[in-house]
Amino acid sequence: MASTEAHLPAGLLSPAERELLHQTWSDRPGFWGWVTAVDHKSVAKRYIFTAFLFFILGGLEAAAIRAQLARPENHLLDPDQYNQIFTMHGTTMMFLFGVPVQLAMAIYLVPLMVGTRNISFPRLNALGYWTYLIGGLFLYSGFILNTGPDAGWFSYVPLAGPQFSAGKRVDVWAQTVTFTEIAALIAAVELIVTILKQRAPGMSLNRIPVYVWAVLVTSFVVLFAMPSVALASMMLAMDRLVGSHFFNPAEGGDPLLWQHLYWFFGHPEVYIMFIPAAGFVSDIIPVFARRKMFGHTALVLSLVATGFVSFGLWVHHMFTTGLPQLGQSFFTGASLMIAIPSGVQVFCWIATLWAGRPRFATPLLFVIGFIVLFVCGGITGVMVASVPFDQQAHDTYFIVAHLHYVQVGAFVFPLFAAIYFWFPKMTGRLLSERLGKWNFWLFFIGVNVTFFPQHFLGLMGMTRRVYTYLPETGWGPLNLLSSVGAAMIGVSVLVFIANVFLSLREGVPAGDDPWGAHTLEWATASPPPPFNFAHLPVVGGLYPNWERGADAPVVTGLGNSHREVLATTVMDAVPDAIQTHPGPSVAPLLVALAIGVTFITGVFTPWGFVVGPVLLFPTMLMWLWPRRKPAAERAWCEERV
Amino acid sequence: MTRPPPRPGRAPALLALAALASACAHSDMSAVDPAGPQAGRIAGMTWYLTIVGTVVFIITIGFLLYALWRGNRRVESYAGEGAERHIRRWVIGATAVTTAILLVTLVYDFATGRALARFAEPDALTIRVTGHQWWWQAQYIDPDPSKRFETANEIHVPVGRRVRIEVRAADVIHSFWVPNLHGKVDLIPGYTNTTYFRADRAGIYHGRCAEFCGYQHARMDFLVIADPPARFAGWYRDQLRSSVPPADSVRQVGEQVFMGTRCAMCHAIRGTEAGSRVGPDLTHLASRGTIASATLPNTRGHLAGWVLDPQSQKPGVYMPPNQLKPDELHALLSYLQSLK
Amino acid sequence: MMRTTAPSHLRALAPALALLALGACQREQRSFQETPPGATAFPAVQTTDIQAGPKTVDPAVNTYQENRVAVSQGQTWYTSFNCAGCHAPGGGGGMGVPLNDAEWIYGSDPENVFATIVEGRPNGMPSFRGRLSNTQIWQLVAYVRSMSGLTPKDTWSPRSDHMQEGRPNRTAQPQRQLP
């Protein structure tokens, strides 16, 4: 249990002890330190950076699509290239950017926000990143080598099956999904444990920030949704490589089975991206409205309700497949119902802004843009929840418009708000406000110019996933307008990249708390030291950084010569145990490589599933090998007991 | 720094209404220009959803912009017990209004769905449509076998009579969609799905495949031609007939070219020895207005280009290029254009 | 301080990727307008290994044999043009000889199989001269040879979406017997 050091006034750390603490928690220096890092901030920063690289690649693919579709009968891309590019665009944005960046932001922010030293399973965290990276590199290597997938990000069978998709392309897709889904499950598990068991003392359930609740809900959604796509992709891989008949109607299989399994994952997947985004907004608005958030309990309950109900919507992706009408009605009901918690959140946000004193810094601009785009996307979502309307709109550009309004508007915009908001914390420098405003306006106008016309294109008959269209359809002008908007979005992303690089070099130093914010991460330095807080705070309310004075209570008695973390109870965050955390280790990278060998060679030969586990065994042994405690640590533990 | 941003909210919504209204001029491929009761009911739902959605958007964003403007002029945040109660009433009220709108929408949706499903009728004209990569096979089904025939890519239906479409897939998933007449229905291997519609207005309605099915998904179109009943009966009679035998020597040579080279390996012409079902039935090719699954006009020039090199029009399609000598091509085209 | 790009270990991957490139490109190549091997002249067919002077073979012949997409397309033609009607799906044989075994009456080299399809053979194999394009025939050649394991393993067709056929007997060794 935490105890007061008898020989130091108030139990605070002396400079020498602080230096020791710093050494204990730091990553090792140089390249080896980079490879062995288990600090959640190090892993999260590279995770976020990698995800943004994939965002840019996905954006380039989108640029190619819009360039090809800007004119009727364009010859920029042939059908095969176009099919590969739109498949890569969807796969990259959903699997390599969308879910990973949200989980990575959570991996960075959650331990700081709940007031602990590191995420719950540091080496597992590193494993998650390496697995994700290997998956992404595998996909893009395939793409470069003419083996990139070309059957859509949703890979419907029988088109993606063994007979109609010859070669290894779809197998590369299926295994990429496997890698990213392992990484997501890892992140979900460690976030749940961190949030439930490692909160600072006093941070009872009703004092958890809304963003942290959002991450908790999201992690549970990941836990229940990912296995479905893991199963589906494994079944597809087996059909293609081993001769099974899961999806072969001639032998008793069913192509619709794929759709059910895929969308059972696919619908919660988009909520995995949206729920943390709503969490960002709920913790950014109080800072820029300079007022406590209205309706904290309602917001939290809305997030939980959204998480639950998101599992009851998947058939709305299948309204045209001829399923029984009564069954479809349930999914219409649920799809309409999920608008209610979203609406509650929007009303609470607007109410807080109304009651506060807004200051229009870039994060707030992105939040306002998000609300506008999300309401529009949510309304078109209510429209397509109706089966009759969806029978016209399904698989047309109306859906493309809807999905981009909710994905770009309700996920990317809050993400940009979060980046502008937390960049000073992560790097110690503020992003330029001037470039930020250019970024916002170009992006906001660009998104509307790109995607609003697509609503009309859909109702005028333009179907999705078409590499070209005839001039007689009359779709040319709106497509050209849409492509012009896409160019604007490209420019805005360039402005963002410029902003990041310039600010890293010459940005205004941020200090601990440039925004006057209310969550715990702003109570430590920018960027935070490796140990996050020299003294873990004791929390007394929902807005700790606003409520804590200079003499606020802190936790003392954790060891400085080895990594110790405080575990607390689930409901009331009463200190419960002290955990020893592992230091830097290369085992996660090695295990990830063994997993990579298993699944990558498995695409080409079944021996992969023999060689891989053979490599996995020693690497896992290395990971799990008991560590002999150094003398200082042994002495410390014995003295405490 | 504290000036509120200018208002972006209303303009796009008004633009939406204007654009939708302009789409009302009769279009041969539009979900908001219904030519029959099924599409009509859906269009009604569309208008309801669009108008209600636009109003909700305007009101919500209006509140947002008002909140920003009002908050910007505040000296102190509005906080405290009274404030919380006041705000709570508004939020609960807004949530209640939202729920009410959603419930009304749900009821309207169910009613529309039931109406669409109840359009079935045992007496409907039955057409079995099978989707292939990348063309449409259409078999007209009749209880009397002598009244059945097969065609491709262009379907004629009589105005004012219900039509039952039974859809199947020969290879991968496709989707049958004629926006002016009804919503889409998927063609899934292993399943037969059924949809009903009726055309109340004569005209040519453009349809498309609406489920990604490979290289030429973009050019897998078809036509639904609604004829007045008398004209439809005449068309039906003509389609039942066997193919027109070649009337002169040029066309005879053309028929020999057809039978003696690759054409007969994939295409059927009823009344001749060509009976392959790999590609579209060509018995009455000349009665169609389009070729290449409704993506090219059926003219001599386009037919020539298509026969010589389909890959340049629809790269990836299964029909190979055909090197023909000029006189062979000329004869073949004359024969094909005689197949009325 | 945000770390930028990863250092040297990623650059080391480049040569490995380059090696993979050769294999992948060959197997996955798809093209829409192509000149198949032997398009302009009937390919040279030899019925013996012994010849005078250097062997002349169209090198383009092999590109189809190592292309998964060509084999897949050949499988489509095998069904469409009813080769399966005599030779059975999967090549087990029936009215026609089995194609998935090691016996090749007229030789198993690609040119021999091409000649068989184009010319027909005594006792029932029809001639397809002029009825199929050269591209289609070469794709059929690739598929037929893959049925007995004569093409690289990664070009073989996995199971099809039809009713299950017999499993191909891929133990054939290249053999040529003369009638």
pLDDT of residue B159 exceeding 90: yes
pLDDT of residue A423 exceeding 80: yes
Q: Which two tokens stand for residue C112?
A: 């021999």
Q: Which CATH number covers residue B331?
A: 2.60.40.420
- Which pLDDT score, from 0 to 100, does residue C136 have? 92
CB contact under 8 A, C81 and B318: no
For residue C33, give the nearest of B189, B278, B311 by CB distance: B311
Final residue before a domain boundary, out of B65, B90, B117:
B117
Tell me which chain A residue has its CA closest to the CA of residue B117: A325
> Between β-strands A564-568 and A575-580, what pairing exists: parallel, antiparallel or unpaired?
antiparallel
Contact assessment for residue A138 and residue C16, using Cβ atoms and an 8 Å cutoff: no
Report the sign of the C-alpha dihedral through residues B118, B124, B128, B131, in that order.
negative
Q: CA-to-CA distance for A549 and A627, rounded, in angstroms?
A: 41
Contact assessment for residue A34 and residue C3, using Cβ atoms and an 8 Å cutoff: yes
Does residue B167 lie within any of the structural domains? no
Q: Residue A513, Cβ neighbours under 10 Å: how many?
A: 18
CB contact under 8 A, A162 and C160: yes
| Residues A558-569, mean pLDDT to the nearest whole number | 92
CB contact under 8 A, B172 and A466: no
pLDDT digits (tens, 9 = 90+) for B20-29: 555 445 788 9
pLDDT of residue A303 exceeding 90: yes
pLDDT of residue C177 exceeding 90: no
Residues 140-169 of C with CB under 8 A from B: 161
Which pairs with CB-CB distance under 8 Å and at least 24 residues apart come from A25-34?
Answer: A25/A117, A25/A118, A25/A529, A25/A530, A25/A531, A25/A563, A26/A530, A27/A530, A27/A584, A28/A584, A31/C7, A33/A584, A34/C3, A34/C7
Q: CA-to-CA distance for A415 and B296, rounded, in angstroms?
A: 46
Final residue before a domain boundary, out of B117, B135, B152:
B117
**C-alpha angle with apex A346: A345 to A349, nearest 5 degrees?**
85
pLDDT digits (tens, 9 = 90+) for A83-124: 999 999 999 999 999 999 999 999 999 999 999 999 999 999
Does residue B51 lie within any of the structural domains? yes
CA A443 to chain CA mean position, Å: 20
**What DSSP state is assigned to residue B205?**
E
Q: ipTM of this predicted complex?
A: 0.93
Contact assessment for residue B333 and residue B286, using Cβ atoms and an 8 Å cutoff: no
Please indicate if any CB of chain C lies within 8 Å of the CB of A161. Answer: yes
Contact assessment for residue A104 and residue A47, using Cβ atoms and an 8 Å cutoff: yes
Contact assessment for residue A187 and residue A210, using Cβ atoms and an 8 Å cutoff: no
- The confidence band for C5, taking pLDDT boundaries of 50, 70 and 90, is very low
CA distance C132 to chain B (A): 6
- Which pLDDT score, from 0 to 100, does residue C24 have? 63
CA distance C133 to chain A (A): 21
Q: Which residues contact A318 (CB under 8 A, 6 or more apart)?
A: A256, A259, A260, A263
Does residue B81 lie within any of the structural domains? yes
Look at residues A277, A269, A278 and name the one whose alpha carbon lies nearest to residue A310: A269
Report in angstroms the alpha-carbon separations of A439 from A198, A306, A420, A433, B115: 37, 30, 11, 9, 49
For residue C2, give the nearest of A45, A158, A168 by CB distance: A45
Q: How many domains does chain B have?
A: 2
Q: Which two tokens stand for residue C141?
A: 């050649």
Does residue B165 lie within any of the structural domains? no
| Residues B237-265, mean pLDDT to the nearest whole number | 94
**C-alpha angle with apex B302: B298 to B304, nearest 5 degrees?**
115
Q: Which two tokens stand for residue B51?
A: 């108008």
Please indicate if any CB of chain B lies within 8 Å of the CB of C127. Answer: no
SS3 C76: helix
SS3 B157: strand
Does residue B14 lie within any of the structural domains? no
Half-sphere exposure of residue A312: CA atoms within 13 angstroms, side-chain side: 17
Q: CA-to-CA distance for A374 and A342, rounded, in angstroms?
A: 9
SS3 A289: helix
- Which pLDDT score, from 0 to 100, does residue A311 have? 97
| Residues B306-333, mean pLDDT to the nearest whole number | 94
- Which pLDDT score, from 0 to 100, does residue B121 have? 87
| Residues A398-407, mean pLDDT to the nearest whole number | 98
Q: Which two tokens stand for residue A458?
A: 């859909």
pTM of structure:
0.92
CB contact under 8 A, B214 and A321: no
CA distance B235 to chain C (A): 31
- The confidence band for C25, taking pLDDT boundaries of 50, 70 and 90, is low
What percent of chain A shows pLDDT beyond 70? Answer: 98
Tell me which chain B residue has its CA closest to the CA of residue A86: B212
- Which pLDDT score, from 0 to 100, does residue B49 have? 97
CA-based radius of gyration for chain C: 20
Does residue B282 lie within any of the structural domains? yes
Tell me the residue range of the domain where B320 lies: 249-336
- The confidence band for B139, taking pLDDT boundaries of 50, 70 and 90, is very high
CB contact under 8 A, A248 and C161: yes
CB contact under 8 A, A147 and C24: yes
Final residue before a domain boundary, out of B117, B135, B163:
B117
pLDDT digits (tens, 9 = 90+) for C124-144: 999 999 899 988 999 999 999
pLDDT of residue B3 exceeding 50: no
Q: Residue B80, Cβ neighbours under 10 Å: how many?
A: 10
- Which pLDDT score, from 0 to 100, does residue A82 have? 97
**C-alpha angle with apex A337: A335 to A341, nearest 5 degrees?**
115
Report in angstroms the alpha-carbon separations of C168 from A471, B28, C99: 48, 51, 9
- Which pLDDT score, from 0 to 100, does residue C17 have? 52
Half-sphere exposure of residue A596: CA atoms within 13 angstroms, side-chain side: 19
Q: Which two tokens stand for residue A440?
A: 């916002």
Alpha helices by DSSP H, listed for A115-209, are 122-144, 169-197
Largest CA distance in chain B: 98
Please indicate if any CB of chain B lies within 8 Å of the CB of C79. Answer: no
Does residue B19 lie within any of the structural domains? no
pLDDT of residue A6 exceeding 90: no
pLDDT of residue A156 exceeding 50: yes
Does residue B236 lie within any of the structural domains? no
Residue B225, beta-bridge partner list:
B156, B204
pLDDT of residue C175 exceeding 50: no
Residue B269's H or E segment, with its range, is none
| Residues B38-60, mean pLDDT to the nearest whole number | 97
pLDDT of residue B73 exceeding 60: yes
| Residues A30-54, mean pLDDT to the nearest whole number | 96
Chain C contact probe: residue of A134, A147, A246, A506 with most C CBs at under 10 A: A147
Q: Which residues of C touch A602 (CB under 8 A)?
A: none
CA B339 to chain CA mean position, Å: 27
Half-sphere exposure of residue A309: CA atoms within 13 angstroms, side-chain side: 21
Location of structure tokens 């973390």: A565
Q: Based on the number of CB atoms within 10 Å of its own CB, is B278 exposed (0-12), middle (13-18) or buried (19 or more)?
A: middle
* SS3 letters across A29-88: CHHHHHHHCCCHHHHHHHHHHHHHHHHHHHHHHHHHHHHHHCCCCCCCCCHHHHHHHHHH
CB contact under 8 A, B311 and C32: yes
Q: Which two tokens stand for residue A314?
A: 């998947």
pLDDT digits (tens, 9 = 90+) for B186-222: 999 999 999 999 999 999 999 999 999 999 999 999 9
- The confidence band for A635, taking pLDDT boundaries of 50, 70 and 90, is confident
Q: CA-to-CA distance for C107 and A541, rounded, in angstroms?
A: 86
Q: CA-to-CA distance for A203 and A497, rounded, in angstroms?
A: 37
- Which pLDDT score, from 0 to 100, does residue C43 have? 55
For residue C3, give the nearest of A46, A141, A164 by CB distance: A46
Please indicate if any CB of chain B lies within 8 Å of the CB of A624. Answer: no
Contact assessment for residue A113 and residue A521, using Cβ atoms and an 8 Å cutoff: yes
pLDDT digits (tens, 9 = 90+) for A523-551: 999 999 999 999 999 999 999 999 988 78
Q: How far apart are the first and last CA of chain B?
A: 74
* SS3 letters across A613-637: HHHHHHHHHHHHCCCCCCHHHHHHH
Q: CA-to-CA distance for A134 and A179, rounded, in angstroms?
A: 7
Look at residues A150, A151, A155, A129 and name the one whose alpha carbon lies nearest to residue A49: A129
- Which pLDDT score, from 0 to 100, does residue C92 have? 85
CB contact under 8 A, B77 and A290: yes
Report in angstroms the alpha-carbon separations of A629 from A38, A444, A577, A621, A638: 19, 55, 18, 18, 12
CB contact under 8 A, C159 and A167: no
- The confidence band for C164, taking pLDDT boundaries of 50, 70 and 90, is low
Look at residues A558, A72, A545, A27 and name the one whose alpha carbon lies nearest to residue A287: A545
Least confident of A232-241, B237-246, C33-42: C33-42
CB contact under 8 A, B262 and C32: no
Q: Which two tokens stand for residue B214?
A: 């490979």
CB contact under 8 A, C133 and B321: yes
**What DSSP state is assigned to residue A406?**
I
- Which pLDDT score, from 0 to 100, does residue A96 have? 98
For chain B, which chains pass the contact test of at least 3 CB pairs under 8 Å?
A: A, C
pLDDT digits (tens, 9 = 90+) for A408-419: 999 999 999 999
The more confidently predicted of residues C37 and C117 is C117
Q: Which residues of C touch A245 (CB under 8 A)?
A: 159, 164
- The confidence band for C168, taking pLDDT boundaries of 50, 70 and 90, is low
- Which pLDDT score, from 0 to 100, does residue C176 have? 40
DSSP A87-121: HHHHHIIIIIIIHHHHHHHHHHHHHHHHT-SS-S-
Contact assessment for residue A422 and residue A109, using Cβ atoms and an 8 Å cutoff: yes
Q: CA-to-CA distance for B120 and B195, rounded, in angstroms?
A: 8
Contact assessment for residue A328 and residue B93, using Cβ atoms and an 8 Å cutoff: no
- The confidence band for C74, taking pLDDT boundaries of 50, 70 and 90, is very high
Contact assessment for residue B63 and residue A351, using Cβ atoms and an 8 Å cutoff: no
Residue B296, beta-bridge partner list:
B291
Cis peptide before B134 (omega within 30 of 0): yes
**Residue contacts between A and B (CB atoms, under 8 Å):** 271
| Residues A264-293, mean pLDDT to the nearest whole number | 97
Tell me which chain C residue has its CA closest to the CA of residue B324: C130
CA distance B261 to chain C (A): 5
Please indicate if any CB of chain B lies within 8 Å of the CB of A346. Answer: yes
Q: CA-to-CA distance for A95 and A103, rounded, in angstroms?
A: 12
